DNA sequence: TCCCCGATTAACT
DNA sequence: GTTAATCGGGGAG
């Protein structure tokens, strides 16, 4: 599958976030094994957005958000979790798209080791889980083998949107985007229909 | 330097 | 439904 070029992310996060749905995050591990997962849930964080880490300007932590688009901004939170973001907008703009959930496609056995569970549904369901499944933390630096692919055979799905999760401000902006299904965070496998 | 709290998760009742 | 785990960022002093 073709890699999405960096310029594909040189747009507002609110445009990139829904566009990323259905695209595939891929990573080559040090032993050559490749992990792949289809992105099904994202959130946009713009610079003039009180919920964004970039809202208070350029600090050491968020400097990569202000860098060139297409890079990965990884942050550490709650003392134990890492979250992955794709940097968006032109260089100098502090914006990014949080990768919240994905459908595992390839390398699930390895993801299970990283996650410490065999439950496929839980491998990449939630931003902390997604990053852990891909063994991504702040040691990932420029040049690491991680990229995004666009699957030309993918069928388009209906993109839903709503308020972002886990924030106290900026809740009026409906900048969470997802594709319905069991892989989205805060969802459980569909219960048997009563009919 | 101190202190609060977070773009979360898992394990509880 | 609630809450502990766990630590770095960044504002206040």
- Nearest CA to A184 out of A40, A86, A43 is that of A40
| CA dist., res. A129 & res. A60, Å (int) | 25
Q: What is the pLDDT along chain A (195 residues), one digit of tens a residue?
A: 889 999 999 999 999 999 999 999 999 998 889 999 999 999 999 999 999 999 999 999 999 999 999 999 999 999 999 999 999 999 999 999 999 999 999 999 999 999 999 999 999 999 999 999 999 998 865 556 899 999 888 888 999 999 999 999 999 999 999 999 999 998 654 443 332
Nucleotide nearest A62, from its CA to each C1': C9
Closest CA to A125 of A186, A42, A185, A190: A185
Specify the nucleotide whose C1' lies closest to residue A81 (CA): B8
Say whether pTM exceeds 0.85: yes
Distance of A141 CA from C7 C1′ (whole Å)? 21
């Amino acid at each position: 599958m073709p890699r999405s070029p960096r310029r594909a992310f040189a747009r507002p996060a609110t445009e990139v976030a829904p566009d990323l749905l259905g695209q595939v995050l891929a990573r080559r591990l040090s032993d050559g094994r490749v992990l792949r997962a289809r992105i099904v849930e994202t959130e946009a964080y713009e610079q003039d957005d009180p919920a964004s880490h970039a809202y208070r300007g350029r600090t050491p932590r968020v400097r990569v958000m202000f860098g060139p688009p297409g890079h990965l901004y990884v942050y550490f939170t709650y003392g134990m979790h890492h979250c992955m973001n794709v940097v968006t907008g032109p260089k100098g703009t502090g914006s990014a798209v949080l990768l919240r959930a994905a459908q595992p496609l390839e390398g699930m056995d390895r993801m299970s080791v990283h996650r410490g569970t065999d439950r496929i549904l839980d491998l990449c369901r939630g931003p902390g889980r997604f990053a852990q499944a891909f063994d991504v933390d702040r040691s990932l630096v420029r040049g690491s083998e991680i990229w995004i692919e666009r699957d030309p055979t993918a069928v388009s799905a209906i993109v839903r949107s709503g308020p972002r999760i886990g924030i106290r401000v900026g809740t009026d902006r409906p900048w969470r985007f997802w594709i319905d299904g069991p892989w989205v965070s805060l969802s459980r496998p569909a219960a048997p229909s009563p009919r």
